[in-house]
């Protein structure tokens, strides 16, 4: 017997898995991975920005209230732009350094086939999902956006208001758009920026949690490489919504 892929933790007032209708995913560290555990921001800062030191400093400045999320995004993207990053080079860097976690496409498409609505609420960049999962079936995608001009140079960006504490707000928006209450959502995430989302859904799931708080908020914990444990947790086919 190998390690069980799913570690289930019973919690108070949790929604039974058979009531879940919608599954929302984080991206970096959950659907997408880097060999050294970096996220897209760190990967691109390492290639075009002032180097690895800046990530830790900006994170601390954000945590301690000296830097807004939008300004953090701006500083990072301006660094890539001023470093001469082109769309083709960014795409090549994403393809070289990041990849979908094992089974991600099968799990996400499998959930859709079972009748679940699937969404993304993430601090990633839109270009990561478009590059690594171009045929994704997500009906709602909340993330940061970057744009390039005709010459392939960075021409703009849009910082998402729906990372960190904003993830819970995004889930409430999805609930009002779909008519599915957040109590019938599962959310799958790996890090501290997922905690607000994990706190509001009926079925919080941690994939390869990077922080004890993330793990402690989860009803189920999926081991690294075992995202497919979701297909064991969430039954199918779901009855059609009335």
Residue ranges in contact with Mg ion by CB under 5 A: 26, 28-29, 190-191
CB of 192 to Mg ion, least distance (A): 9
Compute the least distance from the CB of residue 146 to Mg ion, in Å.
18
Task: Let me know: does 146 contact 126? Beta carbons within 8 Å.
Answer: yes
Interior/surface letters 146-183, b for 16+ CB within 10 angstroms, e for the rest: bebeeeeebeebebbebbbebbbbbbeebbeebebbbb
- Separation of alpha carbons 18 and 234, rounded Å: 7
Instruction: Specify the residue, 17 or 194, whose C-beta has the smaller distance to Mg ion.
Output: 194
Query: Minimum distance from CB of 191 to Mg ion (Å)?
Result: 4
Q: Which of 195, 203 has the CB closer to Mg ion? A: 195
Name the residue with the smallest CB distance to Mg ion.
29
Which lies closer to Mg ion via its Cβ, residue 143 or residue 203? 143
Give the shortest CB-144-to-Mg ion separation in angstroms.
13
Q: How many CB atoms lie within 10 A of CB 89?
A: 16
Q: What's the closest the beta carbon of residue 32 comes to Mg ion, in angstroms?
A: 9
Helix axes 53-63, 40-48, angle to 10 degrees: 130
Nearer to Mg ion, 62 or 89 (CB): 62
Do the strands 6-8 and 220-222 form a parallel or antiparallel pair, or are they unpaired? antiparallel
Which CB sits closer to Mg ion, 21 or 190?
Answer: 190
């Amino acid at each position: 017997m190998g390690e069980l892929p799913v570690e289930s933790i019973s919690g108070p007032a949790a929604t039974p898995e058979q009531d879940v209708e919608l599954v929302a995913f984080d991206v970096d560290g959950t659907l997408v991975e880097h060999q050294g555990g970096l996220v897209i921001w760190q990967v691109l800062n390492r290639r075009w920005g002032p180097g690895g030191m800046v990530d830790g400093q900006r994170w601390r400045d954000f945590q301690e209230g000296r830097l807004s999320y939008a300004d953090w995004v701006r500083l990072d993207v301006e660094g890539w732009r001023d470093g001469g990053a082109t769309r083709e080079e960014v795409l090549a860097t994403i393809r070289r350094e990041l990849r979908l976690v094992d089974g991600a496409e099968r799990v996400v498409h499998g959930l859709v086939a079972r009748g679940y609505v699937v969404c993304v609420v993430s601090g990633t960049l839109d270009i990561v999902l478009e590059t690594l999962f171009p045929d994704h079936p997500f009906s709602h995608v909340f993330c940061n956006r970057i744009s390039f001009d005709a010459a392939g140079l960075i021409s703009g960006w849009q910082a998402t208001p729906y990372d960190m504490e904003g993830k819970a707000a995004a889930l409430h928006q999805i609930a009002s758009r779909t008519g599915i209450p957040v109590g019938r959502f599962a959310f799958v995430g790996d890090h501290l920026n997922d905690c607000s989302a994990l706190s509001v859904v009926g079925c919080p799931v941690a994939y390869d949690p990077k922080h004890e708080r993330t793990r402690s908020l989860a009803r189920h914990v999926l081991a690294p490489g075992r995202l497919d444990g979701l297909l064991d947790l969430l039954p199918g086919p779901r009855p059609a919504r009335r």
